[in-house]
Amino acid sequence: MPIYTGGGDDGATSLFGGERVSKHALRIELMGAIDEVSAALGMAVVHLRGERAAASAGPAQPTAATEGQSGPASLAALLQRLQGELFVMGADIATPHEPRAYAVPRITADHAKALESAIDEVEAKLPPLTDFILPGGSHPAAALHFARGICRRAERSAVALAQVEDLPKPILVYLNRLSDLLFTLARLANHQAGVPDVLAKDALAPE
């Protein structure tokens, strides 16, 4: 199957079910932003795997844990799980009407609840946040902050779409929680790497 079809050369694309819409439609804008979030998470996974490979050359050291494991490997696994959920979200958004022939996986309130649990678990392992921080620090943290910024844009697109078309509420809640989780995971990535967060007050301090 060729990667190109020519079907979108007129500036339109198809939703699941065959409905044709403009590539600039709010629904497509939202799907594109979600794809960008997933791509940024993929960058973070690559950086984490690089850190894991570098760490394997020395003695293993216990670090903060997620999902019952520890270190960059478990964080990478969590990010890949999030990529999978974003894939489901993209399909959800692309299928505003339930097809009769098959059931489309949907984002539910349980997905957002799982993000809240992950935030609480990670925050318990981090030092208290006492200052505003800027994106940066380690490579994985920078990628996660980048993903967080895109996620906020996706959330804004979701709000805009929800004002004119039907959009399931769990999608809005999930994107809101996901941006908070990505902020927390960026701090975790720096913590695991032994790299301090970039404090806003330090960036504003006169040289």
Cα 37 to Cα 77, 83, 111, 147, distances in angstroms = 16, 8, 17, 5
Q: Per the domain annotation, does 28 fall within a domain?
A: yes
Q: How far apart are CA 140 and CA 187, in angstroms?
A: 10
Secondary structure (3-state) at 60: coil
Q: Per the domain annotation, does 1 fall within a domain?
A: no
Assess whether pLDDT exceeds 60 at residue 69: no
Structural domain including 131 reads: 12-56+64-204
Reported as a single tens digit per residue, the pLDDT across 108-142 is 999 999 999 999 999 999 999 989 999 999 999 99
> How many folded domains does the chain comprise?
1
The domain that holds 50 is classified in CATH as 1.20.1200.10
Reported as a single tens digit per residue, the pLDDT across 40-65 is 999 999 999 887 665 655 544 433 33
Q: How far apart are CA 105 and CA 16, in angstroms?
A: 13
